[in-house]
Amino acid sequence: MTMRYYQPFHRWILFFALFAIAPSYRILAQENSDCLGCHNDRSLNGTKKGKTISVFVDEKRFGLSIHTSLTCVSCHSDLEGKELPHTEDLQPVNCGSCHSDEQSLHSKSLHGKAIARGDPLAPHCTDCHGTHDILSAKNINSPTSPLKIPFLCGKCHQEGAPVQKQRTIHQDHIIENYSESIHGQGLLKKGLIVAPNCASCHTAHSILPHTDATSSISRKNIASTCAKCHAEIEAVHRKVIKGELWEKQEHVLPACVDCHQPHKVRKLFYDQGMADKDCMRCHDKPEIKSSKDNRSLYVKYTDVKLSRHMNIACSQCHSEVNASHVRPCETIKKKIDCASCHAEVGTQYQKSMHGMLIAKNDPNAPNCKECHGTHAILGKSQPTSPTFALNVPVLCARCHREGKKAAVRYTGDQHEIIEHYAESIHGKGLMKSGLTVTAMCTNCHTAHSVMPHADSSSSINPKNIPATCGKCHHGIEDQFQQSIHAKLVGKTDKQLPVCNDCHSAHTIRRADEAGFKLDIMQKCGRCHEDIAKTYFDTYHGKVSQLGYTKTAKCYDCHGAHDILPISDPKSHLSRENVVKTCQNCHPGATRRFAGYLTHATHHDPKKYPFLFWTFWGMTTLLVGTFILGGIHTLLWLPRALKIRRELKALERSKQEQANREKENNGNDK
């Protein structure tokens, strides 16, 4: 609290020192008694700007004042060295000759500027502090003591006072509201002099409009002003707002007064301000329609009261309402900005694909309410919420199902994502088994930071995918980070695989399903082309091509997520481990057994000469045999045909003979 109603102590020392020396140089002593000789006469009048005024000075009260040890001419310096009694009017006292700091603050303040303008309502020092009877602010009888300040300020700022009526004061019922506020009640009812009074927030002398950046009540400074008493309040408000941002992004984030209205500060937000019932007076009617676009403006109040925002007043979201209007909402110009409370989420959303489209005014872009709903908004842990895990795929499908507005503008290679997801292991886990912990759209894509995979900050950017999958599959991510595929990141130009390159994105399957097992060779083969080809030349590869899943596939020997080069001692195929790896399937495997070439080809005479020559030896034998056999057969063919013809002819002649004999027999009969 700033309570600088009196000078710091050292100034007084200086002052007294000067005062003690001064008289010795004076020719004419001007004691206070000289002045009071005339001025303690109650009937003594003088003139000020042509008006007759009393110039009586109450010696007793002056004696009690904080200036009692000063001489009259210390303040009324224009009389110094003058003949007494004087006849001319005195100049106004310049308090700033001693109180220079206060004076300069005051001059720059609203009050000071009003004085400079010649505003007759502008307060001078004496209007608050008094004249000859100035008391220390510590003195409870002083008008500047904490308990009196609301009344002091209220002289001008209470409802009906000329200042409040004739000058532009944005707040109304200031004193009334204050006295009912928790601050006012603390001060005035409980008598807590530490409770904030007007000057605690507005300062005593440096009173500035909230639009002035240097004002204690400007948006920029209000937080630190409140924090003078409410230290650590940021910690309390962490759920609402990230405290440190208050001062950094004052335009984006709510200031204290956005929720806790000035002068009406209560524990409950807006309790005394716009009450929901004021809104519901109109919006409770089912037939209420917008005059602009004829959309229904009906609000089912029970929706709000059952929603996540049950304790939030209408006007907290529909800000800019003005309670003094008959239709308080007519002053609303902006759309609801959820980010005023949900600041962090708001920032994420703005950077997301959805948010960027909104910024471009794209009609297809989803805003907060598209997913979260409006008045009936529910938390994601509530099963009936559209953002509940089980409902998210349905929610995203509204736009991302094939043919819908997001899917038609999508140019990537993922299609029928909703259908594929539903058939995937994640989709089955979620939708068939009802496991709410199963990965759904937002687990991988995030809820508010949805970005295309090409964006390096996207959760599905290849760089970030291991971490994204690792959120659930942490153990696998650990293994993967040790593998050659992860270790080479940044050390090679080749594109290294991450989770989805083998497991796919939306069609992800259980790794122990036959389909996955058989597919994996093609997946590895996309990069390891030659080695995959030679794999298919050998037993394991041929067998797996026939759809047999129990045979050794890439990962059975090389490892899946922990794949390492054979030269690495930790590799499954290092000299130390290879026999053990073979033994997984061939229990009797020995080191010699492990010498089997799982990727051999008989087409490479340099690498595998014995296979090459065996193959060509066998092929020569085969071709030679066929040539000899073939020639023999072909040469035989014409003779064989001739024999066939002869046999047929023979048969025919026999048949004819038999027929003739039959006929003859018949004729004989």
Partner 1 sequence: METINNPEAKEYLRFSRLNRILHILMIVSFISLALTGMTLKFSYTGWAVLLSHLLGGFETAGNIHRAAAIIMFGVFFTHIYDLTRRKKREFGSWKKLLFGPDTMLFTKKDLRDFIGNLKWFLGIGPRPNYGRWTYWEKFDYFAVFWGVFVIGSTGLTLWFPEIFTLMFPGELINVATIIHSDEALLATGFIFTVHFFNTHLRPEKFPMDIVVFTGRMTLEEFKHDKPAEYEDLVKKGELDKFLVEPYPPIVLRTVRVFGWIALSLGFSITVWIIYAMIFAYR
Is the Cβ–Cβ distance between 366 and 398 less than 8 Å?
no
Residue closer to partner 1, measured from CB, 136 or 583 = 583
Q: Among residues 213 and 585, whose Cβ is nearest to partner 1?
A: 585
Our CB check for partner 1 shows the closer of 432 and 542 to be 542
Contacts of 584 (CB under 8 A, 6+ apart): 556
- Whole-number Å distance between alpha carbons of 259 and 157: 23
State the minimum distance, in angstroms, from the CB of residue 425 to partner 1.
Answer: 24
Q: Judged by CB, which is closer to partner 1: 305, or 607? A: 607
Between CA 285 and CA 293, with CA 291 as vertex, the angle to 5 degrees is 105
CA–CA dist 369, 377 (Å, integer): 8
Residue 385: CB minimum distance to partner 1, A: 48
For the CA atoms of 169, 170, 175, 178, the dihedral, rounded to the nearest 10 degrees, stands at -150
Smallest CA-to-CA distance from 207 within 250, 163, 165 is with 163
Eight-class DSSP state of 662? H
Q: Which residues bind partner 1 (CB under 8 A)?
A: 536, 538-539, 541-543, 545-548, 550, 586-590, 592-597, 600, 602, 608, 610-611, 614-615, 618-619, 621-622, 625-626, 629-630, 632-633, 635-641, 643-644, 647, 654, 658
Q: What SS3 class is residue 395?
A: helix
Q: Which is nearer to partner 1, 410 or 536 (CB)?
A: 536
Nearer to partner 1, 104 or 538 (CB): 538
Taking every pair of Cα atoms in the chain, the longest distance, rounded to a whole number of angstroms, is: 197
Nearest approach in angstroms of CB 621 to partner 1 is 7
Least distance from partner 1 to the Cβ atom of residue 529, Å: 13
User: How far is CA 169 from its chain centroid?
Assistant: 37
> Tokens 């910690």 map to which residue?
235
Nearest distance from residue 647's CB to partner 1, in Å?
6
Cα–Cα distance between 125 and 131 in angstroms, integer? 9
How far is it, in rounded angstroms, from Cα 85 to Cα 261? 56
Is residue 262 reached through a cis peptide bond, with omega within 30 degrees of 0 on the bond before it? Answer: no
Nearer CB in complex with partner 1: 350/583? 583
Reference 133, options 73, 35, 64, 72; nearest CA is 64
3 state SS of 296? strand
Least distance (Å) between residue 632 CB and partner 1:
7
- Smallest CA-to-CA distance from 61 within 42, 79, 78 is with 42
CB of 611 to partner 1, least distance (A): 6
User: Least distance from C-beta 622 to partner 1, angstroms?
Assistant: 4
- Centre a 10 Å sphere on the Cβ of residue 471 and count the other Cβ atoms it contains: 12
Is 233 or 518 the residue whose CB approaches partner 1 more closely?
Answer: 518
CB of 552 to partner 1, least distance (A): 13
List the structure tokens of 581.
Answer: 């790896």
Structure tokens at 394: 């349905």
In whole angstroms, give the CA distance from residue 655 to residue 48: 166
Q: Which is nearer to partner 1, 289 or 645 (CB)?
A: 645
Give least dist CB 610 to partner 1, A: 6
Nearer to partner 1, 326 or 546 (CB): 546
Extract the tokens encoding 523.
């997946």
